[in-house]
Structure 1
Amino acid sequence: MEAQKNMPVDHVFVAMFGGLPGKPTGLAMSVLRRAEAFAQAGVSSRILIDAFSLDFDRQIHELKRRERIGHGISVRYMYHDLAGDQVCDEGIDYVSPLGREGWAYASPEGKPNVLIGKFQGQYRHRVTLREDRVLFIDHLNAGTWEIREWYDWSGAVCRIERMGASEKPGIVQYLGRDGNCYLEESRDEATQRVLGWELYPRTERRVLCSDLVEVFRYWMQSFVLTGETKPIIISEYGVRRKALNTLEDENNARVIYTLHNNHFAPPHRYGSAVRPDMADLVKNLRDCRDVVVLTTEQREDIWKQFGWMPSIHVIPHFAPAVSRLGERDPKRVVMVGRFHKIKGQLAAIRAFRRVVDAVPDAKLVFYGRGGEEGEMRRLIASMSLDGSVSIAGFSADAEEVFLGAAMSIVASDYEGFCLSLAESMVAGCVPVSYDIKYGPREMITNGLDGFLVEAGNEAELADALILGLSNKTRMDSMSEKAKRIGEKLNTGRFIREWTAVLERSAGGA
């Protein structure tokens, strides 16, 4: 990557949507790749996480091992700051929170991840495990569940849910490693609606907040932006907009909002209602100084619906150049991504029954993880595809996956860009994609470097795969053309386009 050192700022803050897993995919991967490109251009990224995670420290160490953070990329965690904690040492010894003297624990039949704890013969604990460590303990007193204690990876209690008469939490407390409560959440027991938050700072009186957005604002103002002059904040998915508006005024800050996904609710087409999780940002777009979307088509749809706005910019992801050669299997098809019903794995399996009937030695391999895996396995078995379709699990090396396959599948209901599609093409793995919003039609020229098929049409999906797998000469030609996407989605272009947006923000435009 050709480093550019003329960007108008030396660091940016990144208000993350959700967490930052140790094995990142999707949004997390795109944020980290952008941070890596920024670092090469001399701009550091300070990623801000405000989503509570029991495993935050563990994920950070995993990211460091994978060299995803460091070298101009740092991560700040709201709950650590509020508690006065730091990321714990990687080699910290696990200390089990289970009782010892007088306690006995045993798993009920068929539930190896559950322990029933008895103290001197009386049932007092119900323990839920993750791997070989305690996830949470439910404490029973006089036949009533009173407390649920959650534990981090080191075995320290970090959150306590205090049950009311309905045996649902009315109070949720967050504890630091010193055992003190630094944040308390009040809930309506019947509806579980959050009523408010109380912060317990070390040097101030308690702070009352009506919602988590106000907690975020307090954290930003008291910990993150202290000493900053005209900070630039990139807000992924437009989260915490109301708090960020206030922070802009209070700190002379500039906020750049990003949309990483289709903003339409089902059926995810033009004219559909706006998704509830994006409604706040979309209805307030005119008040935003700068908004970045990933495709020209999405910008056009927004303009058609809400009117022209010069503040909306298109900056597609970049596709990292392929660093090695691979041995491609001409009958291998892959599908990479989260195992979720919106990603279309079940549709791909059903379509592959038709493929195998026409091309008996065709193979489909899924790479990913997620809650749909069980249903995928059941469908594979019910369609007698065990010898043709397999699930390989998560792979941290998408490049290797695509270099080893002839074709890939995108069968999502919707996307924001579909980074895995770009990765497939740059590796010369010919894609077959549903023609969905957004991304595929801006990357694929149908029949030249991939195939676009009608969204939801499993028969057409299968026929495109059959056409490709049955004609190696044509596939070899399409593979070479697919690689040209790297010329369009290169890092230099990506940095130039982001530089223009940052210059607008730094200049106060």
Structure 2
Amino acid sequence: MSLHVVNEPTNIKKEIPDMTYYFISGGLPNNYGGLTKSLLLRAKLFGEESKKKTSFMTFRFDVEMHNKISELYKNGKIDQEYTSIINLFDDFLSKKTKTKRLYDEKLELEQIKKQAVMGKIAKTVSKLFGGLKNKLVITCYTDGQTIRYVDYMNDAKQVIKREEYKKNGVLALVTYYDVQINKMYLQEFINEKNEVYLDKHYVWNSEKKDVQFTHFTWYSEEGERTIKDEAELRQYWIEYLQNENDKPKLFLVDSRPQDKHVFKVKKAPSSYYAAIIHNKHYGDTKYQIKGRYKEVFSQMYNLDAIFFITEEQIEDFNLIAGEQETFFFTPHTIDKPLDSEVLNVPSEKYKAVIISRLAAMKNLTHAVKAFSLVVKEIPEATLDIYGSGEDYEKIKKEIADHNLQKNVYLKGYTNNPDHEFQKAWLTISTSHFEGFGLSNMEALSNGCPVVTYDYDYGARSLVTDGVNGYVIEQYNVEKLAEGIISLMKDESTHRQFSEQAFKMAEKYSRRNYMKNWSYALNRMIEVRKEKELLAKKVGQKALPMTLCNESEHQTKIEISSIHNEAGEQVSLIGLDRKNKAEIISVPVHNTNQFIITNQDVQYEKIAANKTQVIDFYVRFMTNGKIKSMRRLSSEQAELAKNVLFMDSGYKIEPYTTVKGNFSWKLTEPDEE
């Protein structure tokens, strides 16, 4: 496999291509994690380093979006000159509207604020507006001052309507309730001009005993539109953006739940669609695709690029999909200048530190268990754990169960992780899995060696066992403790590891980060051109199969003629219909024949993903690994009804699809 490697100076275009960049996530969480941090940093660096403008696209309705954006600009997380954060509701639906009507039923909130005492608001309001038929109840944001909701109540104290406000006092959403069932039946979305631009409709579901969403009505500039779901709304927006002008655009999806909304849009000629992989994609085995990743795999051949932050994960994607010319290595970076002076900061010999979310995937109870063994050997050893999360009580209990209250401390949030890593002797990483391991990279940039479990992904990308830390067999608590003890006792090894840690961090400098993205994006453009040229050479129509001889042990397929004047490598490929996992790959035999034996079928992939249908293609590949595929037609060949592959027990039924193409239906042995 050929991968671009950081620090490789030759044949790398330094300029990020001149495109419009859309980085896509579902929303902007209040307490965002590594995925959102990565997206924000990418947008920031594309601007600061390459002067390219980017848009952070969000889809979810969020009354706090304006405040969140202001905070990001204020805190310097993104550069307002180069990056805009845009939202489906705020920046498209609410603006591209003829509107249903003006909403003029709300009370002036300033009047309520002036005359009502917060905390006694309900009684005060009823006096102020005694002439109104309905009473009001006010709910504030956490500051106790800014109004969040205004609930309109009937005489039976039932909510009949709720007005929802942004923090700047602008009305955003009105919800109407059916008092017979105490459930909503309609929501009206309000823009800053007080116009109703979108309705969301609900009906009662007697079976589920709850209301369910039925459809949207969008009052668009072109007229009233009935829209079946939010996916359709999102697709309207992407279609609008990509057709605004002919300038090249990249729609890069960071969040897997958004894949199904973006990748099903018909791609404009000037648009490029891509995904970046942040987390582990496989389940119980490396052949089993996790549910949220199925859309990426199913769209594999329609995407212009898939970007990876570790080389190990590219290898594992190859196990399922085969090598693809659209896979690119674009690792994370350290968002700060590297300073070798960190190596001169004195470290506390018996002090370990962890800076992490206290989440289940981080498996921090193992760090505590290992430390119970460490203190038996080194009683003065300490471990400071910084962070917050849902596993706080679980970790606290683990500390108490091992009587480690004087050795292991839950320290809460730190706003100076660099300082903590610099004064610590080492850091510990015990995750079940990671996308990369940003905390480990931060530790290395401060000359702090890492003792880590060998998880996917990032452990071995960042830590070379015996060079800048120790990589321990996953879940082996005793070995983890041994690594910690060994490093705490050995000052000479610690000094060497610390120096090598800093050298590893240099690999992830800003300069190298931009090099990798520049290479990947320029190559993405070249690959699409090369694929289009190859597709013209080999044609687009399905290739007719003239012969299909099948026995219990092999299938022989013959094609009347394969026109291959350019001399490409030709193979027969069998793909899982749902996720495009590569199940079969056999080279051409005697210029126009393909022979499939039991050994050519990857039953592990079939079993892992419960493959039901395999579709067949003829693949043409150049020496530069550029591929073009043509569907295999079976209209001209007589097919056997059933064939049993005895080695596997699977029953295989060759058939011709409604479009006249060749496929296999699979039946598992236990389904007989």
TM-score past 0.5 threshold:
yes
Aligned letter for 1:178?
A: K
Deviation per CA, 1:333-378: give whole Å up to 9, x if none: 2222323211223333343333334333333223333333344445
Matched, 1:153 2:167: yes
Change (3 A) 1:286 1:10: closer
- For the 8 Å contact 1:103–1:120, the answer to whether it is kept is no
Deviation per CA, 1:58-109: give whole Å up to 9, x if none: 2222222222222433322222213349xxxxxxxxx789777688846xxx
SS in 2 for 1:130: coil
Q: 1:429 aligns with which of 443, 448, 456?
A: 448
Residue 291 of structure 1 deviates from its aligned partner by 0.8
2:592 equivalent in structure 1: none
Change (3 A) 1:486 1:6: same
1:130 equivalent in structure 2: 142
2:338 equivalent in structure 1: 322
- For the 8 Å contact 1:7–1:42, the answer to whether it is kept is no
- For the 8 Å contact 1:5–1:41, the answer to whether it is kept is no
Q: 1:46 aligns with which of 27, 40, 55?
A: 55
Q: 1:310 aligns with which of 313, 317, 325?
A: 325
Matched, 1:390 2:409: yes
1:493 equivalent in structure 2: 512
- For the 8 Å contact 2:186–2:202, the answer to whether it is kept is yes
Residue 312 of structure 1 deviates from its aligned partner by 1.5
Aligned letter for 2:215?
A: G
Q: Which moved more, 1:380-389 or 1:408-417?
A: 380-389
Deviation per CA, 1:410-438: give whole Å up to 9, x if none: 22221111122112112211112221111
1:126 and 1:380 map into 2 onto residues whose CA distance is: 44
SS in 2 for 1:387: coil
Deviation per CA, 1:471-497: give whole Å up to 9, x if none: 333222211111121243233333232
Larger Rg: 1 or 2? 2
Change (3 A) 1:98 1:355: farther
Residue 148 of structure 1 deviates from its aligned partner by 4.7
2:232 equivalent in structure 1: 214
Count of equivalent residues: 487
TM-score by length of 2: 0.64
Counterparts of 1:344-423 in structure 2 under 5 Å?
344-381=363-400, 383-423=402-442
1:179 and 1:471 map into 2 onto residues whose CA distance is: 68
1:455 equivalent in structure 2: 474
2:369 and 2:70 map into 1 onto residues whose CA distance is: 39
2:27 and 2:118 map into 1 onto residues whose CA distance is: 36
Residue 258 of structure 1 deviates from its aligned partner by 1.0
Aligned letter for 1:215?
A: L
- For the 8 Å contact 1:104–1:117, the answer to whether it is kept is no
Residue 5 of structure 1 deviates from its aligned partner by 8.8
1:456 and 1:501 map into 2 onto residues whose CA distance is: 36
1:97 and 1:221 map into 2 onto residues whose CA distance is: 43
1:72 equivalent in structure 2: 82
1:257 equivalent in structure 2: 275
Residue 239 of structure 1 deviates from its aligned partner by 5.2
- For the 8 Å contact 2:198–2:216, the answer to whether it is kept is yes
Matched, 1:295 2:310: yes
1:162 and 1:409 map into 2 onto residues whose CA distance is: 52
Change (3 A) 1:499 1:103: closer
Query: Over the residues paired in the alignment, what is the CA RMSD in angstroms?
Result: 3.5
Change (3 A) 1:218 1:384: same
Counterparts of 1:162-311 in structure 2 under 5 Å?
162-164=176-178, 166-187=181-202, 190=208, 194-201=213-220, 203-222=221-240, 226-238=244-256, 240-245=258-263, 247=265, 249-250=267-268, 252-265=270-283, 267=284, 269-271=285-287, 273-311=288-326
Change (3 A) 1:343 1:172: farther
Aligned letter for 2:89?
A: Y
Deviation per CA, 1:179-216: give whole Å up to 9, x if none: 33333333465466543323233x34223222222212
Residue 135 of structure 1 deviates from its aligned partner by 4.7
Residue 292 of structure 1 deviates from its aligned partner by 0.9
Counterparts of 1:39-118 in structure 2 under 5 Å?
39=47, 40-70=49-79, 71-81=81-91, 82-84=93-95, 105=119
% same residue: 21
Change (3 A) 1:339 1:135: farther
SS in 1 for 2:25: coil
Aligned letter for 2:250?
A: I
1:374 and 1:177 map into 2 onto residues whose CA distance is: 43
TM-score by length of 1: 0.83
- For the 8 Å contact 2:41–2:78, the answer to whether it is kept is no
Change (3 A) 1:396 1:52: farther
SS in 2 for 1:499: helix
2:37 equivalent in structure 1: 29
Aligned letter for 2:200?
A: E
- For the 8 Å contact 2:16–2:517, the answer to whether it is kept is no
2:487 equivalent in structure 1: 468
Q: What are the ranges of 5 or more consecutive residues in structure 1 without an aligned counterpart?
A: 86-94, 107-114
SS in 1 for 2:441: helix
Residue 55 of structure 1 deviates from its aligned partner by 2.2
SS in 2 for 1:261: coil
- For the 8 Å contact 1:97–1:156, the answer to whether it is kept is no
Residue 294 of structure 1 deviates from its aligned partner by 1.7
1:185 and 1:264 map into 2 onto residues whose CA distance is: 36
Q: 1:15 aligns with which of 13, 17, 23?
A: 23
1:89 equivalent in structure 2: none
1:91 equivalent in structure 2: none
- For the 8 Å contact 1:8–1:506, the answer to whether it is kept is no
- For the 8 Å contact 1:432–1:452, the answer to whether it is kept is yes
Aligned letter for 2:338?
A: V
Deviation per CA, 1:226-279: give whole Å up to 9, x if none: 2352212222145544554465533631112111111123x5x423x4222222
1:275 and 1:145 map into 2 onto residues whose CA distance is: 42
- For the 8 Å contact 1:407–1:429, the answer to whether it is kept is yes
- For the 8 Å contact 1:231–1:251, the answer to whether it is kept is no
Residue 298 of structure 1 deviates from its aligned partner by 1.4
1:411 and 1:180 map into 2 onto residues whose CA distance is: 52
2:475 and 2:110 map into 1 onto residues whose CA distance is: 49
Change (3 A) 1:104 1:243: closer
Aligned letter for 2:35?
A: L
2:203 and 2:312 map into 1 onto residues whose CA distance is: 43
